[in-house]
Amino acid sequence: MNDTPIRVGIIGVHPDQGWASTAHLPALKALPQYHVQALSHHDASIAKTAAEKFAVPLHFDSSLALVEHPEVDLVVVSVKVPRHRALIMQALNAGKAVFSEWPLGVDLAEAQMLHEVATSKGLASSIGLQTRSAPAFAYVRDLIASGYVGEVLSATMIGSGIIWGDAMSEGYAYTLDPLNGAAMVNVPFAHSIDGLLHVLNARFETVNGLLSNARRTVRMTETGVERPLSVPDQIQVVGRLTNGANLTAHFRGGLSRGTNFHVEINGTQGDLVITSPVGYVGIGGTRLMGARLDEALHELEIPDNYDLYREVGMPAQSIAIGYARLATDLRKGTRLSPTFADAVELHRLITAVEHSEGAQQRL
């Protein structure tokens, strides 16, 4: 692709709700590298209203019409996970580059298939692992690479799932079916562990996982009806990384009155701490602290060249940074943004965690 704006078609846009309208569209509108050319929704009236609200030239009630339109270069799939496979295949068969929300598929096999098809067709792919783009995470990755903590010894992560707690909205009820691939282990935990591994520039060599339920039911906020909490609300993972460090993580369903997100990285010469008031980085802001040698732990200011696109606010900021990297990849052939290959690797890790049952898995 040359330097003309990349024309984007987004599948799954509602004018008043959803990740596409709250994150993707504000991010894309802030980037001159892109032009949002088309959107689709299965309800024609909703598609029309969304197009008018966001000043998008083309709107469709058919995803196939969108992916086959000659004025669409990049297809963005922003719908529930069970629909990813069919929609991504439509886009790939139409010869289009694809950006898919994470998770790529409902399971590892589906993700592998989509990656293989994209690769066989020579088409660019990108996956929405935006925690990698969060300013604090990007800066810490470079601090570690520059030797701020010395040799990394260990990393610890505590997180909250936000939902999968005492109560949830009916809109999230589909996440209670493990076959939909959208439970806590698949979404907030996966996003967070991927971001931390990216920061450490390492992968798991071996991993132990323990998934369980502290709660047996969850209350639907609209009706008060109690439903079985049929996916784990407790995730504990410990493993050894390819750089020799140990990593321990614990995610809990719902929100805590104490710590909702805390990452601590310990090294031979220093320590780094990332915290957030909510369990999902990029929604409620982050705080970065560090210390090396004889220093006391203190706040670290994130340089402006990492804290990009602040004007779009949260949660769109990390999405915008990711899209800027993707534009460079599409135009110059770089490898700055995560691809379907990275998605397969993360799916493989989640599968190992789900099947370890306390027994060590080698990756």
Please report, for the domain that includes residue 288, its CATH number: 3.30.360.10
Q: What pLDDT digit, counting tens, does each position of 62-119 carry?
A: 999 999 999 999 999 999 999 999 999 999 999 999 999 999 999 999 999 999 999 9
Query: Cα Rg for the chain, rounded, in angstroms?
Result: 20
* C-beta neighbour count of 292 within 10 angstroms: 15
The whole-number pLDDT of residue 231 equals 96
Q: Domain end: 86, 114, 129, which one?
A: 129
- The verdict on residue 317 lying in a domain is no
pLDDT of the residue at 159: 96
Per the listing, tokens 């991504």 go with: 88
pLDDT digits (tens, 9 = 90+) for 272-298: 999 999 887 777 789 999 999 999 999
Residues 6+ apart with CB under 8 A from 342: 127, 129, 194
Q: Which domain holds residue 25?
A: 6-129
Please indicate, yes or no, whether residues 267 and 233 belong to a single structural domain of this protein: yes
Give Cα separations from 224 to 216, 221, 257 (angstroms). 15, 6, 23
- Angle at alpha carbon of residue 41, lines to 40 and 43, rounded to 5°: 135
Taking the model in full, what pTM does it have?
0.95
DSSP H/E element including 288: strand 287-292
Picking from 129, 157, 183, the residue at the C-terminal end of a domain is: 129
Q: Do 208 and 239 form a contact (C-beta atoms < 8 A)?
A: yes
User: Do 70 and 213 belong together in one domain?
Assistant: no
Asked whether residue 195 is assigned to any structural domain, the reply reads: yes
Output the six-digit token pair for 231: 């996916």
**Residue 265 backbone dihedrals phi, psi, to 5 degrees:** -115, 120
- Residues of the chain whose pLDDT is less than 50? none
* Assigned domain for 331 exists: no
Runs of H (alpha helix) within 130-179: 135-145
pLDDT at site 280: 79
Q: Is residue 254 part of a domain?
A: yes
pLDDT, residue 239, reads: 96
Residue 361 pLDDT = 66
Query: For 346, how many CA atoms within 13 A lie in the half-sphere containing its CB?
Result: 31
- Is residue 345 domain-shared with residue 206, that is, in the same domain? yes
38 and 161 housed in the same domain: no
Quote the pLDDT of residue 358.
61
